[in-house]
């Protein structure tokens, strides 16, 4: 039981390049989330998926796209990376909405130069 697994852990991109962050959970959770964390800014929600087949925008969705590939996997794509997207990205999941413990992946450190 690995919990929430996200890859890659570290990545350096050039401005304009694209990449996809992968996230998978093995807890049979319905809801999955992508957050970014910048110094002094806390965790800000980028996109979330309440259940398989649905996705919704969070607080800071611009510049990102997501895909809920199946119940286990929720990917985050940067189509044209910008330096402002340098951040730590966390994927998270929870069983049902409305108050279950939310589990985080270990984080992905992304630098855009």
Q: How far is the CB of 102 from another protein (least distance, A)?
A: 6
Compare residues 35 and 81 and give the one whose CB is closer to another protein: 35
List binders of another protein among 3-32 (CB under 8 A): 31
Count residues contacting another protein (CB under 8 A)? 29
Q: Which of 9, 15, 26, 59 binds another protein (CB under 8 A)?
A: 59
d(CA 85, CA 67): 19
Angle at 18 between CA 12 and CA 21, to 5 degrees: 70
Angle at 88 between CA 83 and CA 93, to 5 degrees: 135
Q: Is residue 49 within 8 Å of 30, Cβ to Cβ?
A: no
3-state percent breakdown (helix, strand, coil) of the chain, nearest 5: 5, 50, 45
90 binds another protein, rule: CB under 8 A: yes
Chain residues that interact with another protein, rule: CB under 8 A:
31, 33, 35, 40-45, 48, 50-51, 54, 56, 58-59, 90, 92, 94, 96-99, 101-102, 104-107
């Amino acid at each position: 039981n690995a919990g929430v697994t996200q890859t890659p852990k570290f990545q350096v991109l050039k401005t304009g390049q694209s990449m996809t962050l992968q996230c998978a959970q093995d807890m049979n959770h319905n809801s999955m989330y992508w957050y970014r964390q910048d110094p002094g800014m806390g965790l800000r929600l980028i996109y979330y998926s309440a259940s398989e087949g649905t996705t919704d925008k969070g607080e800071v969705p611009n510049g990102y796209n997501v895909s809920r590939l199946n119940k286990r996997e929720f990917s985050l794509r940067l189509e044209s990376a910008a330096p402002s997207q340098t951040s730590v990205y966390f994927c998270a999941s929870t069983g049902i909405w409305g108050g279950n413990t939310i589990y985080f992946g270990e984080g992905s450190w992304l630098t855009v130069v």
